[in-house]
Structure 1
Amino acid sequence: MATALAGDARIDTELRSKIVDGDMGRKRKFTRGLTPPLALPLRGEGSSAPPSLHGKGVGGLGFSNSPTASCHSPEPKLTLRIIQLCLFALLAFGLVCACSGSLSQDSVSTGSQLSESVKAAPHDGDSPKTQERLESSCRMVKHALGETCVPAHPQRVVALVSNAVVNLLSLGVQPIGAVSNVPSFVLDKLKDVEILGYSEQVNLEKILLLKPDLILAQKWNAEPVYDKLSKIAPTVITDFRIGEWKEALALHAEALGMTDKAKQLMAQYDERIERFKAQMGERLKQTSVSLIGVYPEGIFIFFQNSFGGTILQDIGLPRPPAQVRDKSRLIGERISKELMRYGDGDVILAWSYSDTLATVRSARENLNRLKSDPLWLKLDAVEQGRVYQVEDHWTIGSPLTANLVLDDLFKYLIEERSKM
């Protein structure tokens, strides 16, 4: 029984994330109050009632707060004193009113000037020069979900898919945030990087806190939240199969402004391919190479559309007939033990892999059990002692992992052969 393995390894999960609204400003209302002028409780005109002299009264000036108080008195000295004090109070009242009127006018003038200054202030979006500056500081990059203007030289990059992580490392760029489902050797290179969980679980809040200036993701995991990601930072989306690692590298490099660096890396890759072919000589066309991956779910054989398969194809190494699917976009297929013969070849390269730490042990245990299985022991490559266990860098494409794959091929097909 065989089960097909899709090239993008897509997993349907519900992404439940929400961006925190960045507009946390509160409107504040500012008021300016004025102290009312001093008011003396004067009695109405024509009153003849004498003022009360009991207590200090208003302002401690010897006046009563009683509404019956008056500024008129039959006593001449007292009357003169009262008149002087009344005149003083009226003068004070006039000064306070004048000051209040002046302050009020100043307040209105200031508010009007502030309003006019806001209207006169240029807005970035309305300024042609500013718009030109913004456009010249970024580059338009076409990707799977449209076209995005990205910074000329991004400095804070978040990678939400494993091939973006290894492509960044290949180009000498350390991401500020990355997913965790990457080959084991890659995790060792991400010790100072914020781990964002698995590709299937995009955490928008964590990404927002990192303040990235570029986000790299895959269509299958980012399309549902693409609009939200784009509000956090310019977002570039790939939609390539695992075997299309060169195309993914080209797009990631373009987004980073590092196309020349990517071309240089691929030129070095091509040089190593030619060197390997030269050293293999006549054996190149005579040595079929089988690729087997042991996962928690079972045993898989890998076709030429897989990452490792594309490298073997670039070299020109033949594959076992069961691992050749010219018109298929599938990268591999699960096989039962009864179909173990599909995994045979002149040489077998086998690895164990799991994209979660919890199941890594399970994959390794499956590989160890396979080594003692009677059907496995009957394979020609096993009987000839040409089975080599490799690491999980065979599972994800990039210049970095491609060179590790070539290291394995040089070691097991050339160096080991020379010892025989």
Structure 2
Amino acid sequence: MKKFSMLLILLSVFMMLVACNSTKENTAFNCESPVDHSKNSCKEETSAMRTIQTVKGRVDIPINPKRIVDLAYTSEQLLIMGYTPVMSSTGLNGKTPSYLNGKLDNTVFVSPQTVKIEDIVAAKPDLIISNSRTEKMYDQLSKIAPTIYLENDLYSWRKQFPELGRFLGKEKEVDAWFEQYSEKAKKIGDEIKAKFPGETFTLYVTNATEYRIYGRSLLGDVLFTDMELPAAKGVPLGKPDSTVEIVSLDTIYSLQPDQIFVGYYAFEPNAEELVQSRFKDFVSNPLFNRLKAAKEGKVYSMVGEEWHQSEYQLGKEQVLETIRQKVLGTK
């Protein structure tokens, strides 16, 4: 009888072990140090979550998030990875940019600086993307849903995109995008340099209070880094962090680039009309029109959506075509 009882106990233990092993159908990954850009060490785990290490600590995130709230200007990165956010910070005045028509039709656009916690709760996220722009809200956000805090921002997008890709396990998609974008940018840049050998380029930008010359930032980054166009005298490329320089009109009118891109932006509330007026005065000034580029018809206006295209990944693809059309007259 005792032998029979012992057999029953052993059989029960065996069945429990089998049941435990059968729960490993859903595999997650434990990325111990994805912040270390030199490697991505992941271990299989037995859960439907993925454990990542961010600068804010370890976070368990869904392997396949369905309702992502983007508060770090990463929506176009998410689209490239195959995700459609339910809330996005990359809208143009609260609307979908035309080049994204059909891609974010059901997405709510918000500003990271003014978004309300109750609106985020109402979005019922299963994952939130945050960075320094919403750092003060991090503790609140992490109580709503698993929150990825990114070290990098919009202006360091070459680091931010791979960083998010590692956290989400989408490194291949990120690498593929960089490869095709780099090839396209170089091709169009080479076409422009072949048509205008030795000519130099500059980018002047107006806002509500300042005139600026752009180096490796936003549209300037596309022109001088991605397309490798020759920069004119005065373009701030001397230091890696020297991307924008505030200048006077006298400085602008004293420089003589061969070709000029001009743009404006109005982030301040109700400043659009003022900035438009300043921009119009700038490009219609007789001194501006005495510049070599102006006299030869090599001034290209990049305003409104054309300016904002340079901020995000899919927009960068579009702005390459915009530049090709304006400079070469071809699509």
- Give the structure-1-normalised TM-score: 0.60
Give the equivalent residue in structure 2 for 1:302.
214
1:322 Cα deviation from its structure 2 partner = 1.3
Q: Counterpart amino acid of 1:159?
A: D
User: Equivalents in 1 of 2:202, 2:144: separation in Å?
Assistant: 44
Give the conservation status (yes or no) of the 8 Å contact 1:285–1:317.
no
Q: Does 1:409 align with 2:319?
A: no
- Percentage of matched positions with identical amino acids: 22
**Bigger shift: 314-323 or 143-152?**
143-152
Give the equivalent residue in structure 2 for 1:164.
74
Aligned in 2, Cα 1:208/1:294: closer, same or farther, shift over 3 Å?
same
Aligned in 2, Cα 1:209/1:241: closer, same or farther, shift over 3 Å?
closer
Q: Does 1:292 align with 2:204?
A: yes
Give the equivalent residue in structure 2 for 1:329.
241
User: Equivalents in 2 of 1:328, 1:310: separation in Å?
Assistant: 11
Give the equivalent residue in structure 1 for 2:85.
175
User: Equivalents in 1 of 2:121, 2:94: separation in Å?
Assistant: 27
Give the equivalent residue in structure 1 for 2:259.
347
Aligned in 2, Cα 1:293/1:166: closer, same or farther, shift over 3 Å?
farther
User: Equivalents in 1 of 2:260, 2:23: separation in Å?
Assistant: 60
User: Equivalents in 2 of 1:286, 1:350: separation in Å?
Assistant: 20
Give the equivalent residue in structure 2 for 1:249.
161
User: Equivalents in 2 of 1:199, 1:325: separation in Å?
Assistant: 30
Aligned in 2, Cα 1:234/1:276: closer, same or farther, shift over 3 Å?
same
Give the conservation status (yes or no) of the 8 Å contact 2:236–2:242.
no
1:377 Cα deviation from its structure 2 partner = 1.9
User: Equivalents in 2 of 1:343, 1:202: separation in Å?
Assistant: 42
Aligned in 2, Cα 1:183/1:376: closer, same or farther, shift over 3 Å?
farther
Give the conservation status (yes or no) of the 8 Å contact 1:153–1:257.
no
2:108 corresponds to which of 189, 194, 211:
194
Q: Does 1:209 align with 2:122?
A: yes
Aligned in 2, Cα 1:317/1:281: closer, same or farther, shift over 3 Å?
closer
User: Equivalents in 1 of 2:79, 2:211: separation in Å?
Assistant: 30
User: Equivalents in 1 of 2:52, 2:122: separation in Å?
Assistant: 25
1:137 corresponds to which of 48, 52, 67:
48
1:363 corresponds to which of 257, 270, 275:
275
1:320 Cα deviation from its structure 2 partner = 1.8
2:270 match: secondary structure: helix
Bigger Cα Rg: 1
Structure 2 segments unaligned to the other structure (5+ residues): 1-19, 29-44
User: Equivalents in 2 of 1:207, 1:300: separation in Å?
Assistant: 36
2:239 match: secondary structure: coil
Structure 1 segments unaligned to the other structure (5+ residues): 1-126
**Bigger shift: 248-257 or 228-237?**
248-257
Aligned in 2, Cα 1:343/1:142: closer, same or farther, shift over 3 Å?
farther
User: Equivalents in 1 of 2:204, 2:75: separation in Å?
Assistant: 24
User: Equivalents in 2 of 1:204, 1:184: separation in Å?
Assistant: 18
Count of residue pairs the alignment pairs up: 287
Give the conservation status (yes or no) of the 8 Å contact 1:303–1:323.
yes
User: Equivalents in 1 of 2:321, 2:95: separation in Å?
Assistant: 15
1:152 Cα deviation from its structure 2 partner = 0.7
Aligned in 2, Cα 1:374/1:313: closer, same or farther, shift over 3 Å?
same
